[in-house]
Structure 1
Amino acid sequence: MGVWPRVLLAVVCGVAVASIYVAQPVLEPMGRELGVPAELTGWFVAVGQIGYLAGLVLLVPLGDMLDRRRLIAVHLALTAAGLVLTASAPTARVAFAGLAVVGVFAVVVQTTVAYAASVSAAGERGRNIGVVTSGVVVGILGGRILAGWFTGMWGWRSIYIALAVLAAGLAVLVLAVLRGDERAERPAGYRHVVASLGGLFRDRLFLTRGLIAFFLFASFGTLWSGLSLPLTDPPWQLSETQIGLFGIAGLAGAFGAAHAGRWADAGRAGPVTGIALALLVASWAAVAQLSWSLWILVAGIVVLDFAVQAAHVSNQHLLAVTHPDRTSSVIGGYMVFYSLGSALGAAATTVVFATSGWAASSLLGAAFAGCALAVWAIDRRPHTDGDVPTSRHGRGRPADGATGRTGHRHVLD
């Protein structure tokens, strides 16, 4: 895959995921204008995540049946429609409906990652997934910066209008620039593909990486869905534009994890995941200092986002190389855990902060991170032959490229 297709796919991911997360730094003005109490504003993010969950189950499996390039374009166009509905919402109910539509079709992210994995040579798959996936973190955090700036200039609705224009433009570019996603074999039918998702939960690798993702993004959501609330309170009393600038710290951490895909290609996905999760737990000690030091908070954000990106790329790489025949379904199923974790973090952090303050929210985020590390540590115990993930090459044998060396132990590491 060339440089420009990689960049285009990363931008697609960034715009799609930003469409869900730009509500985070503007929860207060959105809630105020639409009449939503402060303790319930986290639902502006959570509703998008619930829609995202529905899209993962119902839409992402289509990527194993249809031309993913065309599917990406269609989903981008429908995401743009949801953004327009949100931007024009006269009431909270209409805004929730628009955000739900955005969430459903923002699963274009997973179809995009699956496309990148399927058209990549084995030796560069991890690198390409890492670059494309970096667009997700750039979208989440860069979207915060733009949301704060747009809101300060023209109000919170303006960022949704801007994203709608970008999504529509990208739909046209994808059809013009990317090549078709032709595959020799396709699944029997949509019902078969969706039903087969249930079988993934008997796959130890899938279940373990999914649980790690659940707690990983619950911790991530606890920070980014709750951060704007204490920053608008004394002693800081920052504006939405100033709060959005904290996304720069997150971007620094995300770009620092750009090598995660190369580490995965070299067969080090397991150790990298463990180190990343330990750093995630430690980062909350710095994030908890928000009430008296913004510089320590910034350092914590950099470490936290580095850890999240490194673990996330490693997870997707392992799943893609272990299930090359059904990349869309497997990554989509994995992202169900991501969506549930993000929704939990978004909804829980606003409630916890409203009742107990930022120290309690920080403990919540650290607890989620600790659970992810515990899942990884438990999975490090010796595996029996029956635990080895299957692939098209036969039961008990990992897919080519899953280890980087001989032996099944490393596949699950």
Structure 2
Amino acid sequence: MSSAPSATTTGRQARRPPLPAPGTGPGPGPTRGSAAFLTLIAVCTAVTAANIYLAAPLLSLIARDFGSTPSAVAWIASVAQLGYAVGLLFFAPLGDTADRRRLVTVLTLVTTAALLASAVAPGTGALAVAVFVASAGTVVPQLLVPLVAERAPAARRARHVAAVIAGLFTGIVAARVLGGLAGQAFGWRWVFAGAAALTLALGTATALVLPSGRRRRDGSLFGGLAALPGLLRRSPDLWRASVRQAGMFGAWSALWTSLALLLTGPAYGLSTATAGLFGLFGLAASAVAPLAGGLVDRFGAARVVRGAYLLAAVSVPLFWLGGQVVWALFVAAIAIHAALVASHVANQTLALTTTSSPAVANTAYVVSGFAGGATASALAGPAFTHFGWGGVSAVAAVWLALGWGSTAVRR
């Protein structure tokens, strides 16, 4: 067992240009560092990422339309998460091997069709299937992030990745806040129809500017999935980035998914709509991402992740205090979002630049974070039931300790 690499070493690795796939070059497309190209990808990421969370704010409207209760249809939101996980495992690794333009086009068309099917679904079963397919096809952002890292100048790579991550978090917030408002105004079916139109427009526009051509000849639907375990074993930096982000995302998920229970419970007694406005704190992530990207480019990934973990560690006792004092919740919400996005920018930049298979590495990284978040969320519910808000805060603290402690030394 030896100590973890220094911040200087990890910083050099984070800024190292990625190795291109055999037999490929930058290919045709926008000029390197093109602001228009980066903006288009960021906007496309925001629109497509929103599709995963579209059903959550519409559950009460869906239940009313189908003569049910919100709790009886809440599983549809979980189906969306499951569909996204499946899409990550099977489609995201193809970014190393398949023609990106064709792959993004196909996924855009499939997602658009599934969203339209959601808009006209006759019942919850049909809606769940359509939401599952739409979420599985909504992995386009994870195909675009490796491309952005590959085309970016080495000295500004993290800032370019941060721009896409800012779009990702903006889309998530927009889905939860604007989706609910649009649903109240026009009905939940029109929200899905509108999402289909936006997905088709942005996905098609993005596909048209992507480089075309097959990157490798050894690609298959299951090839990237099979390569994940070996890639993690061969790359300690990828393993470290994946585990640390799983710890960070788990802490955030435990607190954020349980926050509505606290706000609508006896402690505060807020309405569901008012509690939902706390989602606006997610906009802090969009503001922090560019700053975090600049810090990673200047100081390296290791220092930024260390600072993010310290900020998250401070936010946990603030969340606990927020069980009685509302101002502590405001400060903690901003702090945990800033920590999450700073850690995400640094860890994802490192994950994308440590192997010659950036799409597979990105899949391993994102799936690890998703698994950490899902597990912590599953534990947070029982913790709140048996121990109250203090139990949720304890779950978050444990997840942070596991994420950092298990990577503090190298195997």
TM range (shorter): 0.7 to 0.9
Counterparts of residues 306-317 of structure 1 (less than 5 Å): 306-317=338-349
User: What is residue 105 of structure 1 aligned with on the other side?
Assistant: 137
Q: List runs of 5+ in structure 1 lacking aligned partners.
A: 388-413
Cα offsets for 1:124-174 (capped at 9, x unmatched): 221111111111111222322212322443454543333222111112221
**Cα distance, 1:226–1:22 mapped onto 2, change above 3 Å:** farther
CA displacement at 1:119 relative to structure 2: 2.0
Q: Where in structure 2 are there 5+ consecutive unaligned residues? A: 1-32
Range with bigger deviation, 304-313 or 151-160: 151-160
The answer to whether the 8 A contact 1:47-1:96 is kept is yes
Change in 2 beyond 3 A, CA 1:153/1:219: farther
Moved more, 306-315 or 289-298: 289-298
1:188 aligns with 2:218: yes
Report 1:86-235 matches (<5 A): 86-176=118-208, 178-181=209-212, 186-190=216-220, 191-202=222-233, 203-234=235-266
CA deviation after TM superposition for structure 1 residue 304, in Å: 0.6
- Asked whether the equivalents of residues 20 and 103 of structure 1 are also in contact (C-alpha less than 8 Å), the reply is yes
Quote the Cα distance in structure 2 between the aligned partners of 1:239 and 1:147.
Answer: 18
Q: 356-365 or 198-207: which moved more?
A: 356-365
Cα deviation, residue 23, structure 1: 4.0
Same amino acid, percent of matched pairs: 30
What are the equivalent positions in structure 2 for 1:2-401 lying under 5 Å apart?
2-26=34-58, 35=68, 38=71, 41=74, 43-176=75-208, 178-181=209-212, 186-190=216-220, 191-202=222-233, 203-234=235-266, 236-323=268-355, 325-354=356-385, 356-376=387-407, 378-379=408-409
**Whole-Å Cα distance in 1 between the matches of residues 173 and 301 of structure 2?**
24
Residue type matched to 2:389 in 1?
W
Please give the root-mean-square deviation of Cα atoms over the aligned residues, in Å.
2.9
Q: With CA pairs under 8 Å and 6+ residues apart, which has the higher RCO, 1 or 2?
A: 2
Contact kept? 1:68, 1:115, Cα under 8 Å: no
Distance 2:321 2:130 in 1: 36
Alpha-carbon distance in 2 for matches of 1:362, 1:23:
27
Label 1:367 to 1:157 Cα distance change in 2 as closer, same or farther (>3 A): farther
Higher mean C-alpha deviation, range 28-37 or range 252-261: 28-37
CA distance in 1 between counterparts of 2:324 and 2:78 reads 29
2:30 corresponds in structure 1 to: none
- What SS does structure 2 have at the residue aligned with 1:56? helix
**C-alpha deviation, 1:234, in angstroms:** 4.3
Q: Give the letter aligned to residue 367 of structure 1.
A: V
Deviation at 1:356, TM superposition (A): 4.7
Superposition deviation, residue 244 in structure 1 = 3.6
Once residues 365 and 140 of structure 2 are traced to their aligned partners in structure 1, the CA distance between those partners, rounded to angstroms, is 14
Contact 2:60 2:69 in 1 (8 A): no
Residue 6 of structure 1 and its aligned partner are, at CA, apart by: 1.2
Deviation (angstroms), 1:282: 2.1
Partners of 2:286 and 2:203 in 1: CA distance: 26
Q: How many residues align?
A: 376
Q: Which moved more, 1:6-15 or 1:282-291?
A: 282-291
Q: When the two structures are superposed, what TM-score results if normalisation uses the length of structure 1?
A: 0.80
Q: Assess if the C-alpha contact under 8 Å between 2:105 and 2:204 holds in 1.
A: yes
Q: CA deviation at 1:231?
A: 2.9
Whichever residue aligns with residue 278 of structure 1, its letter is L
- Partner of 2:290, secondary structure, is coil
Shift of 1:314: 0.8
Q: 1:388-412: CA deviations, max 9, x gaps? A: xxxxxxxxxxxxxxxxxxxxxxxxx
